[in-house]
């Protein structure tokens, strides 16, 4: 098994190491420059090509590109028919976009607690939250590990629900040896700079259903179509029709060109992330009071994030002091995530944080450490040294 060459100690870094970062090379820059020198910089041929590349990579029939992952989730909720009076069940341990997309459509987000091992949404908790108003389930592939999609899809089919898999973290991951991207009715991928590949900002929905594909295309382009098969009449070559109230959520040709170039490197980026995660697992496994990420037997994570749980009774200080000590070592520690229901906006909506004991326990202990494909072996060594140093200093 391939391993990283990381041995020995390290002094405090001279610069801050971010928890995540894009990897742009000259081929990426050249791809964008070629578009800038051509006739199309907004809507052009690279968008369809990028969609094709993503769809083929994950094995989906269709892919629709959006200006962001959040916009893509909004589009998916619209395509699922979520509206006022409807509920959609999602995880509280995620970025706010996973539930805000339901609010955008006039629906109500319902949170189901997480599994204490994987930190993904717990299918058993989903079942408890289903009501006559439930319209959809939005599982989140936290940190790159796919949610338990077989159980979730079984629940959805029994209750006639649409599943939107928030795979912002899991491009390149596998569930039972099957690429994430065709496991749900719709799957969202994000191309923010900290993700596996980037388009600057951007998102994609993949699906195998033509009806959803057509709704998504309309939604991202003002509800307008020029498709002859959808027009109610044809007044000439200039003619178009607005069939729905849509949004301006389109990706640009410049961004799509960058995405095409980045997709060529995706497998290598994921391979590198897995090597770094393996090095972390090996180094932290025997450290008392530290809990490393659990990987389910069905999952092959693409490791967007790597978080450690510093168990509260094992240290003489709290999580904040440990976090700040890592930052003092110039290690860009982070916390993913503050449970969504804790946000002031959601508190005003009446969410009760006592309903989610596993999410609460996770949040109180979790610290994300740097993990991205551009990290050098020395960067990894710096992280290991800093965690070991802080652990030795603060443990009981």
6 within some domain: no
Q: Which alpha helices (DSSP H) does the chain contain, by range?
A: 26-36, 45-58, 69-79, 97-104, 123-129, 149-159, 210-220, 253-263, 266-284, 319-328, 344-348, 357-365, 377-394
Q: How far is the C-alpha of 277 from the C-alpha of 267, rounded, in Å?
A: 15
Identify the pLDDT of residue 189: 99
Residues 112 and 90 in one domain: yes
Residues 127 and 228 in one domain: yes
Residues 179 and 311 in one domain: no
7 within some domain: no
DSSP 374-394: T--HHHHHHHHHHHHHHHHHH
Residues 304 and 284 in one domain: yes
Question: Taking the alpha carbons of 333, 70, 76, 46 in that order, is the dihedral positive or negative?
Answer: negative
pTM over 0.85: yes
Q: How far is the C-alpha of 184 from the C-alpha of 200, rounded, in Å?
A: 26
Residues 226 and 333 in one domain: no
Say which CATH number the domain at 282 has: 3.90.1150.10
Residues 277 and 157 in one domain: no
Q: How far is the C-alpha of 71 from the C-alpha of 65, rounded, in Å?
A: 10
**Last residue of one domain, picked from the residues 230, 263, 296:** 263
11 within some domain: no
Residues 127 and 226 in one domain: yes
97 within some domain: yes
Identify the pLDDT of residue 6: 60
Closest-CA residue to 88 (of 172, 224, 169, 184): 184
Residues 236 and 341 in one domain: no
The Cα-based distances of 303 to 69, 224, 270, 395 in angstroms read: 18, 38, 7, 27
- The pLDDT averaged over each successive group of 10 residues in the chain (396 residues) is 60 92 98 97 97 98 98 98 98 98 98 98 98 98 98 98 98 98 98 98 98 98 95 96 97 98 98 98 96 98 98 96 98 98 98 97 98 98 97 96
The distance of Cα 35 from the centroid of its chain, to the nearest Å, equals 28
Say which CATH number the domain at 201 has: 3.40.640.10
Angle 122-124-130 from CA coordinates, rounded to 5°: 105
User: What is residue 298's three-state secondary structure?
Assistant: coil
257 within some domain: yes
Domain count, the chain: 2
Residues 76 and 130 in one domain: yes
The whole domain housing 96 covers: 26-263
């Amino acid at each position: 098994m391939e391993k990283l060459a990381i041995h020995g100690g390290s002094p405090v870094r001279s610069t801050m190491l971010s928890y995540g970062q894009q990897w742009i090379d000259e081929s990426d820059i050249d791809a964008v420059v070629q578009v800038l020198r051509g006739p199309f910089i907004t809507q052009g041929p690279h968008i369809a090509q990028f969609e094709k590349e993503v769809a083929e990579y994950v094995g989906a029939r269709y892919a629709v590109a959006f200006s962001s992952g959040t916009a893509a989730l909004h589009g998916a909720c619209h395509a699922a028919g979520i509206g006022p009076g409807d509920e959609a069940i999602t995880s509280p341990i995620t970025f706010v976009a996973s539930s805000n997309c339901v609010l955008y459509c006039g629906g109500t987000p319902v949170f189901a607690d997480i599994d204490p091992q994987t930190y993904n949404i717990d299918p058993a908790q989903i079942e408890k939250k289903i009501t006559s108003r439930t319209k959809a389930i939005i599982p989140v592939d936290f940190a790159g590990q796919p949610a338990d999609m077989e159980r979730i899809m079984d629940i959805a089919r029994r209750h006639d629900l649409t599943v939107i898999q928030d795979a912002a973290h899991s491009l390149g991951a596998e569930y039972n040896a099957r690429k994430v991207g065709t496991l749900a009715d719709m799957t969202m991928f994000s191309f923010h700079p900290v993700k596996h590949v980037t388009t600057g900002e951007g998102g994609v929905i993949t699906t195998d259903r033509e009806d959803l594909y057509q709704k998504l295309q309309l939604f991202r382009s003002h509800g307008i179509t020029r498709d002859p098969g959808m027009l109610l009449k044809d007044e000439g070559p200039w003619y178009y029709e607005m069939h729905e109230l849509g949004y301006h959520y389109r990706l640009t040709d410049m961004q799509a060109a960058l995405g095409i170039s980045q997709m060529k490197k995706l497998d290598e980026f994921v391979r590198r992330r897995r090597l770094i995660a393996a090095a972390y697992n090996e180094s932290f496994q025997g450290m008392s009071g530290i809990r490393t990420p659990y990987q389910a037997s069905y999952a092959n994570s693409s490791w967007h994030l790597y978080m450690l749980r510093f168990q509260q009774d094992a240290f003489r200080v709290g999580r904040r002091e440990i976090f700040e000590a890592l930052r003092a070592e110039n290690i860009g520690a982070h916390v993913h995530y503050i449970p969504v229901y804790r946000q002031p906006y959601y508190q005003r909506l009446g969410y009760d944080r006592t309903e989610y004991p596993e999410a609460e326990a996770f949040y109180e202990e979790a610290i994300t450490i740097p993990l991205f494909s551009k990290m050098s072996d020395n960067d990894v060594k710096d992280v290991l040294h800093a965690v070991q140093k802080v652990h030795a200093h603060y443990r009981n």
